[in-house]
Amino acid sequence: MYPELITLNLPVIGRLTITSFGVMMALAFLAAYQVGRSEFNRMGKNPELAADLLLGALIGGIVGAKLYYVFLNWDLTVQDPLGMLFSRAGLVWYGGLLGGSAGVILMIRRRGENILPLADGMAPAAALGYAIGRMGCFLVGDDYGRPTDRWVGVAFPDGAPPSTAGNLRRAFGVSVPDSISDSTVLEVHPTQLYEVGLSLLIFAVLWRFRGRRPVGRVFALWLVLAGLERFVVEFFRAKDDRFLGALTLAQLFSLGLVGLGLWLMNRGAAEAPEAPAGA
């Protein structure tokens, strides 16, 4: 774990800490920009559209992720509204997805472009950017999984929060034997790395299928694969929002993504022109 890479003492600004999460997020957006730019260039679109769409995704994603976190933890928000709004913690991925999508759609509308062709171009970029961003979560010890005694287990003594038995019990509602003291650091599933690997695989699949017809097919495939990936990984996550029995809210959203992706695929297949006889 390397949560903090370097600390600088700068004139006027003062103490500035550069975190591994911040660096990986910057790399995620840079990689997504390069992939999106390459795809738009291949599609005959203005490559600089990628910068506009990523700006919309960045602003909308941060706002959406924070608002989702605030409403999900309304009891804490009532006690300290400003602290909840402006803290560095509390960026929920599905809130970021909704807000980022709204930001991207707004940018596309302002440019007078059609949504689905550009969504096809940005789908591989989104998969790659997500993989890199999740590596940032691993480096700071955030969003880890349930305890495990398998070889894949990783301990996060300086995580956010540390993977102690007490934190797993109180913060995430994980069942830990009473014989284990609250201060004991446990090895847990490195679900961040699971998502890194699966998202890189999704990127490879989308890259292989890019440019396929009908328009919207690649974007729909990303929705299905990203939804399935998150649905599976959630079973290993340390979570306190399993309000639907064994399922989390994120899994409910995941099923929605899969359903939307399948609907877009079916719609595209129905609207695609039939191939000529003998083709």
Sign of CA dihedral 195, 198, 204, 208: negative
Q: Torsion angle of alpha carbons 191, 197, 203, 205, nearest 10°?
A: -120
Asked whether residue 178 is assigned to any structural domain, the reply reads no
Residues 217 and 237 in one domain: yes
Let me know whether 140 and 68 are in one domain: no
Q: By percentage, how much of the chain surpasses pLDDT 90?
A: 42
Domain identity same for 121 and 10: yes
Residue 176 lies in a domain: no
pLDDT over 80 at 212, yes or no: no
122/201 same-domain check: yes
Name beta bridge partners: 155. 187
Split into its structural domains, the chain has a count of 2
Contact 85, 70 (CB under 8 A): yes
- Domain coverage including residue 120: 4-43+116-150+189-269
Q: Are residues 137 and 264 in the same domain?
A: yes
* 140 lies in the same domain as 265: yes
Judgement on whether residues 144 and 209 belong to the same structural domain of the protein: yes
> How far apart are the C-alpha atoms of 162 and 61, rounded to whole Å?
26
Please determine, for residue 10, whether its predicted confidence score (pLDDT) is greater than 80. Answer: no
- Please report whether residue 160 resides in a domain: no
Q: Are residues 144 and 29 part of one domain?
A: yes
Concatenating the DSSP letter of every residue in 88-106 gives S----HHHHHHHHHHHHHH
State the pLDDT at residue 77.
64
Query: Mean pLDDT in the chain?
Result: 84
Domain co-membership, 122 together with 212? yes
- The answer on 57 and 24 residing in a single domain is no
- Render pLDDT for 78-116 as a digit per residue (tens, 0 to 9): 676 666 565 555 556 677 778 888 888 888 888 888 888
Instruction: Kindly report, residue by residue over 55-84, the tens digit of the pLDDT.
Output: 888 888 878 777 777 776 666 666 766 665
Beta bridge partners of 145: 237
Q: What is the DSSP letter of 9?
A: E
> Is residue 71 one of the residues assigned to a domain?
yes
